[in-house]
A and B are shown apart, each in its own frame.
Chain A
Amino acid sequence: MTSAVEEMYQEIILDHYRAKHHSGLREPFAAEVHHVNPSCGDEVTLRVHLDGDTVTDVSYDGVGCSISQASTSVMTDLVIGKDVDSGLALHEEFLTLMQGKGQVEPDEERLEDGIAFAGVARFPARVKCALLGWSAFKDAVLQAGAGDRRPEEG
């Protein structure tokens, strides 16, 4: 028997946690941010590099729980190679999923491995863990000078 909590830890999440994608800080980068979750001390330093409109790299170094680490790993898979608007739109979709208290049906076509975090939305204390890397990405992209490139469809 597995509990609801153990179901929350999908294999996808554990796989990303054990072998994080795009981990480590790389050069060149257009912006670097440092985000902290003060209640638990989780931290991430995250760099974004852009080529025109395209997110060419997201690199990071962080300490944190499996949820925050895996979520950051999944995020890099999703946004690297996309244009900035698409990356920010994915952030919005992921945010909606996380704030949905488990009632939002994720779109696998768009969020790919990110749908594994649907169960996290049922545990309010962990939502901020799942959002740490995504929030850092958004912040870094805006600092990289792409702040006026938000998608019009919101």
Chain B
Amino acid sequence: MTTTPTRPAEAPTQDTTAEAGYDVAAVRQQFPILARTVAGHPLRYLDSANTSQKPERVIEAVATHYREHNANVARAMHQLGAEATEAYEGGRSRIARFIGATRAEEVVFTKNASEALNLAAHTLGAGLREGDEVVVSVAEHHSNIVPWQLACERTGATLRWFDITEDGRLDLAAAERDGLINERTKVVSVAWVSNVLGTVHPVRKIADWAHSVGAVMVVDGCQGVPQLPTRVADLGADLLAFTGHKMVGPTGVGVLWGRYDLLASLPPFLGGGEMIEVVRMTGSTYAPPPARFEAGTPPIAEAAVLGVAADWLDELGMEQVAAHEQAITRYALEGLQSINGLRVLGPTEAVDRGGAISFTVGDVHPHDMAQLLDSRGIAVRGGHHCARPLHERLGVQSSTRASFYLYTTQEEVDALVEGVAHTVRFFGGTP
């Protein structure tokens, strides 16, 4: 078996990204999990596009909610019910402020971003007819493809998509040439930031294009909202889906933001408690947004704590988070591309690019890569990252993805680069 020289002892974490406007080492100390070891090595968590780690304040807030304020919302006529409702609605107001929404009623809580996108596809789909067109891109996560396929199957509408260029950006020129967005287009839905390629898509430009033909612009903000300052008005979206757990918040809560007048024009999604106005056996009327889209007991603690996560992020500063992401991505792109035979999928320079880097190297399978890296404490994702059509388009079966966040250090990236090189040697290649 191959052996490698062990790394010289060094400080476990140090702030090595000069560009970060904050002390990365101090920030890391707020994340208890980052202090643990895996397989005898310090954990190097490079899978934040999958889910982010949580700071102590968020972890504590979950426990505090259940210890002190737990009750159901909106219907309990007692003190705890009032406190739980205030916490839940407080989360809604806080998220509205985090994304620059004009009113809290524009924020609908779901269980995750997939549900938010399904809500969008189902309710917008109710207005689709045969001959209508829905436009997505080949670079989307399955969550922004399959709900639209289902809507098109139900209604007879046609699904079309943006292709990508060789360097992994949306091919706007081809779309223009082919009349991709036209008078038949009713919905355009694309990711703000690709979860595989890291590409930041020109959402504003596409939104203006969609609006010029009267189409609704839906944006999958799963990778964008956690990394970039978000102002929904600047983004140009009519609906924006994102999730709590990728932005240092808890799992179990997603968000669909929508322009109020659009939300008010949409039919219900799921039926049940809290989404109604008057129920009669002969038919019911429905509550205004956001309650119309929140049937049943919502993710109360999760939504309340998502507000705490937004506080935490805003205190750090989303501008600084974005700057750190940019710096660490640039550093990782340089390091990884020094490895012989390594192919970065997507933009190879840190321009209009988020902190997810997917790559292939020689014929080492991403599963083998991920497992060898895991044995050195390095957590990455291997597979198609819920974007099989994109991998097919790129002519690869799967890839290894390293993704970074506000707590990622250059030392972790160094360990990744060394781990990848080691894995290539292990399988008989020359890194």
Contact = CB atoms under 8 A, between A and B. Distances in A.
Interface of A: 1-7, 9, 14, 18, 39-43, 63-67, 123, 125-126, 129
B431 to A, nearest CB: 16
A2 B40 CA distance: 12
Nearest to B428: A18
Given A2-B1, A2-B3, A66-B368, A41 B375 contact: no
B426 interface: yes
B149 interface: no
Contacts of A67: 367-368
A72 B428 CA distance: 20
B325 interface: no
A17 B384 CA distance: 21
A67 B372 CA distance: 13
Interface residues of B, number: 23
B365 A3 contact: no
A42 B391 CA distance: 13
Given A6-B1, A9-B426, A40 B371 contact: no
A7 B374 CA distance: 14
Closest 9 CB pairs of A and B: A5-B375, A65-B367, A65-B365, A3-B375, A2-B1, A40-B383, A63-B397, A41-B384, A41-B398
Contacts of A64: 365, 367
Contacts of B384: 40-41
A6 B426 contact: yes
Given A66-B365, A66-B368, A40 B398 contact: yes
Nearest to A43: B397
25 contacts: A3-B376, A4-B375, A5-B39, A5-B371, A5-B372, A5-B374, A5-B375, A6-B1, A6-B2, A14-B427, A14-B428, A18-B428, A40-B366, A40-B367, A41-B383, A41-B391, A41-B398, A42-B397, A43-B397, A65-B367, A66-B368, A123-B371, A125-B371, A126-B367, A126-B371
A123 B427 CA distance: 19
B367 to A, nearest CB: 4
A9 B398 CA distance: 21
Given A40-B367, A41-B384, A67-B367, 16 more contacts: A2-B3, A3-B375, A5-B374, A6-B372, A6-B375, A14-B427, A40-B382, A40-B383, A41-B397, A42-B367, A43-B397, A65-B365, A66-B365, A67-B368, A126-B367, A126-B371
A66 B427 contact: yes
B366 to A, nearest CB: 8
Nearest to A17: B427
Contacts of B2: 6
A147 to B, nearest CB: 31
Contacts of A18: 428
B160 interface: no
A126 B375 CA distance: 14
A116 to B, nearest CB: 14
B388 interface: yes
A5 B376 CA distance: 10
Contacts of B365: 64-66
A1 B374 CA distance: 16
B367 A129 contact: yes
Interface in B343-400: 365-368, 371-372, 374-376, 382-384, 388, 391, 397-398
Nearest to A64: B365
Contacts of A2: 1, 3
A14 B3 CA distance: 16
A6 B423 CA distance: 10
